[in-house]
């Protein structure tokens, strides 16, 4: 199965939200995971919103770009992106 993650689902891999465990299980079961290139900056925006609300520490926020960037390398982009 190829699993496509939109940005809200991608964020659930890193942030504790409703259904985060379910999305993580899907990723583990998938043969391949795909997402859009735009998901990276959108995911970082989600981290910034959570940081501004006080849900993330400064250290967590400083680590977020590298964590997401490394994980994005494992994902495929749909054709034409």
Query: What does the DSSP assignment read for 37-59?
Result: TTHHHHHHHHHHHHHHTTSS-HH
pLDDT, position 72: 83
Task: Kindly report the length of the chain.
Answer: 81
Is the predicted pLDDT of residue 2 greater than 60, yes or no? Answer: yes
Assign 1 a pLDDT band (cuts: 50, 70, 90).
confident
Is the predicted pLDDT of residue 31 greater than 70, yes or no? Answer: yes
77 forms bridges with which residues in the sheet?
A: none
pLDDT tens digits, one per residue of 34-69: 998 899 999 999 999 999 999 999 999 999 999 888
- How far does CA 26 lie from the centroid of its chain? 13
CATH topology (fold) of 2-72: Rossmann fold (3.40.50)
> For residues 51-67, b (16+ Cβ closer than 10 Å) or e, as one string?
beeeebeeeebeebeee
């Amino acid at each position: 199965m190829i699993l496509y993650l939109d940005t809200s689902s991608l964020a659930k891999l890193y942030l504790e939200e409703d259904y985060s465990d379910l999305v993580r299980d899907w990723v583990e079961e998938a043969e391949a995971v795909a997402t859009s290139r735009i998901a990276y900056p959108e995911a970082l925006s989600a981290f910034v919103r959570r940081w501004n609300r006080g849900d993330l520490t400064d250290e967590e926020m400083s680590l977020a770009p590298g964590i997401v960037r490394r994980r994005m390398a494992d994902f495929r982009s749909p054709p034409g992106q």
